[in-house]
Structure 1
Amino acid sequence: MARRTYTCPLRWSDMDAFGHVNNVNFLRYLEQARIDFTLSGAGKTTQRTFPEVSVVARHEVDYLRPLVYRAEPVTVETWLTDLGEKSFTVAYEIKDTPGVAGAGNTVYARAATVMVPYDLSEARPRRLTAEERAVLTDYLEDQPVAV
């Protein structure tokens, strides 16, 4: 079981009128980490065995602490909590980046996204292939994210 780690820079424009990163930007951070996870082939292979086209069916986010803009990036850890025949659930933690000056052990958000593989030519959802499931299985953890 493995987790993919994505280092995500913060942008000045991510801040809202209350002086912290706006909640909609957390979804952008999750998207960036999920795309990194997808384009990496889930880190296992250079072959295109990861679902190339998948759509978001559902998001759940727990915002745990306010994230104030800073020059240091955050880390988004990504793993799977469910792997079905027609969907998979990506779990995330957005937290301080280890080793960055001034960073603690703060977790700012925990989230989960249900993804569905999609057939563009048929314009409908499809089943995961055996090859896709093999790649994704290495990222499956028994412990679901607390959302």
Structure 2
Amino acid sequence: MSAAEYVTHVRPRWSDMDAFGHVNHACMVTLLEEARVPLLFDDATARGLGEFAKGTVVVKLGVDYKAPVIVDGKQLRVGITMPRLRQASFTLAYRVHNGPSASDPVAVTAWTLLAPYDVGAARPRRLVAQERDFLTEHIPEADGA
């Protein structure tokens, strides 16, 4: 993991390709989800913070394509930072490299605005102090926010 970002890897599947041989947009959104799940669900749950896995919803998302992502069997490097942390939401920013290394070109930049969600009450909830601490310890803030 780099000091500047949380790093994970995802592997596109052959079925992710569209008719042009690129990773389809909907599949790219799924790959972004696969990049954040180990952090927010597995790592957080291991630290006793299972509420992320019980309820975290995507409020908004944006995806910008710099280059096509071609499925060639290689993993993609995904760097994640946190440009914004609020009381009841946080934003993750993604840099998807067209290969497994930081030296591979960035093909996609994206962001997701996420909110913790209380499934039982059917409404968003505030982050507790331990969740905020976990987020700031594991995901560097992109702009000091």
Distance in 2 separating the partners of 1:3 and 1:40: 18
2:100 — aligned with what? 97
Give 5+ residue unaligned stretches, structure 1. Answer: none
Distance in 1 separating the partners of 2:113 and 2:39: 14
Distance in 1 separating the partners of 2:43 and 2:15: 30
In the TM superposition, structure 1's runs of 4+ consecutive aligned residues that sit over 4 Å from their partners are none
Question: Which deviates further from its counterpart, 133-142 or 81-90?
Answer: 133-142
TM-score by structure 1 length? 0.84
Q: Does 1:8 align with 2:33?
A: no
Letter of the 1:126 partner, please give it: R
Distance 1:92 1:63, change over 3 A: same
Distance in 2 separating the partners of 1:58 and 1:23: 15
Letter of the 1:78 partner, please give it: I
Matches within 5 A, 1:17-36: 17-36=19-38
Which of 50, 70, 94 is 2:72 aligned to?
70
CA contact (8 A) 2:87 2:127 kept: yes
1:115 — aligned with what? 114
Letter of the 1:71 partner, please give it: G
Which of 76, 79, 86 is 1:84 aligned to?
86
Letter of the 1:23 partner, please give it: H
Alignment partner of 2:52: what SS?
Answer: coil
Letter of the 1:113 partner, please give it: T
Distance in 2 separating the partners of 1:76 and 1:111: 10
Q: Quote how far apart the aligned CAs of 1:116 are.
A: 0.6
RMSD of the TM alignment (CA)?
A: 2.2
Distance in 1 separating the partners of 2:48 and 2:38: 15
Distance 1:142 1:7, change over 3 A: closer
Give 5+ residue unaligned stretches, structure 2. Answer: none
**CA distances 1:98-135 after superposition (whole Å, capped 9, x unpaired):** 29xxxx52111001000011111111011110111111
Q: Does 1:143 align with 2:143?
A: yes
Distance 1:42 1:97, change over 3 A: farther
Distance 1:49 1:132, change over 3 A: farther
2:129 — aligned with what? 130
Identity %: 35
**CA distances 1:48-103 after superposition (whole Å, capped 9, x unpaired):** 2663311000001111101111011111122211100010001111102129xxxx
Work out the number of aligned pairs and report it: 139
